[in-house]
A and B are shown apart, each in its own frame.
Chain A
Amino acid sequence: MSAEPTAAPKAAAGRSGLRRIPPWLAVPAALGALVLVLPFIALLARLDWAGVPAAITAPAALQALTLSLTTAAIATVICVILGVPLALVIARSPQWLAAILRTLTTLPLVLPPLVGGIALLSLLGRNGMLGGVLAVAGIQIPFTTAAVVIAQAFVALPFLVISAEGSLRTAGTGHELVAATLGAGRFTVFRRVTLPLVAPGLVAGTVLCFARALGEFGATALFAGNSPGVTRTMPLAIYTAFNGAGVQEDTAIALSLLLIVVAIAVLLLMRGWRADAIR
């Protein structure tokens, strides 16, 4: 091989890589981008900008936003505490066991959240598997803020586990083995080597997890209900406003805008962190 052909692919891998794509693929690519972006443009076009400040500073809106951010944050913390160990177990399991665990973990991701809500009711509802026991102890979970957190954790956990497990698998066990030969016990290895190595993937997974919890609607609606200040998160507030006939439709759109802004802020925050990350 001469130097000439080896130089060409390198250049193509840069910005001019676009030129190496078959031209007709640009059509579905552009359509794909439109599918994603056009609805938001339409939403902004319909927005009654004059009414936005009033709509998003209304006490009910702020109450819903606060509830959403609080419950999503708590659900995310729960997901990290439970999800990272689960991801580690999957990543270090023999292949057959990892395949089973991964399938089970992914299930809430592919099922409609409504099904998740019914499943949660079957478990924790008054006549549920655990709900009956809890009722005897005087604990009622459905239709409380705790139910919101549980529903959010249920649908968001797979996002965290899958991205953390991918990072753990990629990181491999080489560094951990070397750390052990240096005299580090298992927990020291986990805390000082494993976790820092997968930190970038873990942060990405946590952000996705938080965003999913923030947007959770179906399971919450069934399992937690729609009670203002207790279980009415942003998505439920938007749904309620939208269902409240024409007058309130503008409020629903304004609240949607607020949720979009929060989501974009979270994604930008993650990008900023990733840029600073030591690779």
Chain B
Amino acid sequence: MTLDVDIRVRVGGFALEAAITAAAGEVLAVLGPNGSGKSTLLGAIAGHHDHAGAGSAVTGRISIDGRMLDASVPPERRRIGLLGQQTMLFPHLSAMENVAFGPRSQRMPRADAAALARRHLADVGLEDLADRRPSQLSGGQRQRVALARALAAAPDALLLDEPFAALDVQTAARARRLVSELRDRVSVPMVLVTHDPMDAVMLAGRTVVLNEGRVMQQGATGDVLGHPNSPFVAAIAGVDLVAGTGGPNGELRSDPGTASEIRWAGRGDALHVGEAGTAVFSPGSVRIHRPSDARLAGAAANSWTGTVAHLEAIPGGVRLFTAEHPELAVDCSSKTAVDAGVQLGHALHFTIDPDDVSVRRSA
């Protein structure tokens, strides 16, 4: 089964244009900030035109294995499951009755639907809590019931809308593991909408990045997050991206010929002289040295200096930006920050191992 989407949606002044594909047993992550069009995309696929926005117009093509889902097909005949941030369990029904709701709505006899629901609850490890009401379950348990309910309706595709956003860190980790197990066991295409690159890394073979209704980049998750092609995607992936041109030895030179020139050596493509390319690295891979450090004499590759202009607290340490390279974030532990004298106005040396730098030629 393959979900094929190539649509344009207009909601008031907002326009979304996206083409995505998800194969059976595959999770496609749709990454993007609020307002990028993620929910509009899901609403259009699920057939919730109200959800996508009042007066929205969807044109284009949505199909599952050639079964066309045009605007005239209502949600109840699309066979597309939806699991949102809010579980939306029916509060007046037990866990079992919630899961049996889909099969019952599709006219399965009561006893068969109950048996099927119990099997699906067992699949998510909740067979013992089948008779509880949603209000008697924890947040993580509710999420698992909602997942079982979505799957019990035998959907041809499953849409996951920020399903982990409302859960605490540990519960979210367990929920991610459950989704990854289901991905391998249940053979339906899944589209996972999220603002957290972590979800894409843990679950999705392929990732699409949306911004302001446009696809910024799509491809294998490792490629998209490991080597973004734009500052926007780099910011989402949480990596540093520098653009430049090829120099001698296949290096990339950023800001060539200026005082802030840096030569980047790394893995990946060997650039020809003058060829446009980008270098990508994690802010945490950068090492920080006091300027007096003798090893840094001379303009070696992967080495630069800068004056600390901005500091941010990050878990376990500090993120700094320099006046000379304001676009490059550098992360370090609190101890390193103290040892290297990371303070506003202080000049520092930075180096990075070529193994930690990905160099690509621009397409």
Contacts and interface: CB of A to CB of B under 8 A. Distances in A.
A197 B153 contact: no
A263 to B, nearest CB: 29
A173 B86 CA distance: 12
Contacts of B135: 278-279
A43 interface: no
Contacts of B51: 177
Contacts of B50: 173, 177
Contact of B75 (A174, A180, A188, A278): A180
A179 interface: yes
B79 interface: yes
Interface stretch (B99-107, B223-231, B268-276, B355-363): B99-107
Interface in B78-99: 78-82, 84, 86, 88, 90-93
B90 A177 contact: no
B88 A174 contact: yes
Most B CB contacts (10 A, CB to CB) among A181, A186, A188 go to A181
A31 interface: no
Contacts of B105: 179, 182-185, 188, 192
A67 to B, nearest CB: 37
A178 B82 contact: yes
Nearest to A199: B92
Contact of B153 (A177, A183, A192, A193): A183
Contacts of B46: 177, 181
Contacts of A186: 76
A278 B133 contact: yes
A53 interface: no
Most B CB contacts (10 A, CB to CB) among A173, A177, A178, A180 go to A178
B144 interface: no
Contact of B102 (A177, A183, A185, A193): A183
A184 B102 CA distance: 7
Given A94-B54, A279-B135, A182 B88 contact: no
B153 A175 contact: no
Contacts of A177: 46, 48, 50-51, 75, 82, 88
A196 interface: yes
A184 B78 CA distance: 11
Interface string B22-49: 0000000000000000000000001110
B253 interface: no
Contacts of B86: 174
A196 B101 contact: no
B351 to A, nearest CB: 41
Contacts of A188: 105
B219 interface: no
A181 B78 contact: yes
B228 to A, nearest CB: 33
A180 B76 CA distance: 5
A183 B76 contact: yes
A113 B129 CA distance: 53
A278 B149 CA distance: 21
A138 B354 CA distance: 99
Nearest to B87: A178
A180 B82 CA distance: 10
A173 B50 CA distance: 10
A174 B86 CA distance: 9
A180 B84 CA distance: 14
B74 interface: yes
B215 to A, nearest CB: 24
Contacts of B102: 182-184
B92 A278 contact: yes
A278 B136 CA distance: 11
Contacts of A94: 54
Contact of B76 (A184, A196, A197, A279): A184
Nearest to B97: A192
Contacts of A174: 84, 86, 88
A215 to B, nearest CB: 32
A179 B91 contact: no
A170 B84 CA distance: 19
Most A CB contacts (10 A, CB to CB) among B78, B80, B101 go to B101
A278 B155 CA distance: 30
A274 to B, nearest CB: 15
Most B CB contacts (10 A, CB to CB) among A183, A186, A197, A199 go to A183
Most A CB contacts (10 A, CB to CB) among B47, B76, B91, B155 go to B76
Nearest to A94: B54
Contacts of A178: 82, 84, 88
A192 B101 contact: yes
Interface in B131-169: 133, 135, 149-150, 153, 155
Contacts of B81: 181-182
24 contacts: A174-B84, A174-B88, A177-B48, A177-B88, A178-B84, A179-B101, A180-B47, A180-B74, A180-B75, A180-B76, A181-B75, A181-B150, A182-B149, A182-B153, A183-B77, A183-B153, A184-B76, A185-B76, A192-B90, A192-B105, A197-B90, A197-B92, A278-B92, A279-B135
Given A175-B90, A181-B80, A197-B92, 7 more contacts: A179-B105, A181-B75, A181-B82, A181-B150, A182-B153, A184-B76, A192-B101
Closest 7 CB pairs of A and B: A182-B102, A184-B105, A180-B75, A196-B92, A182-B153, A178-B88, A181-B82
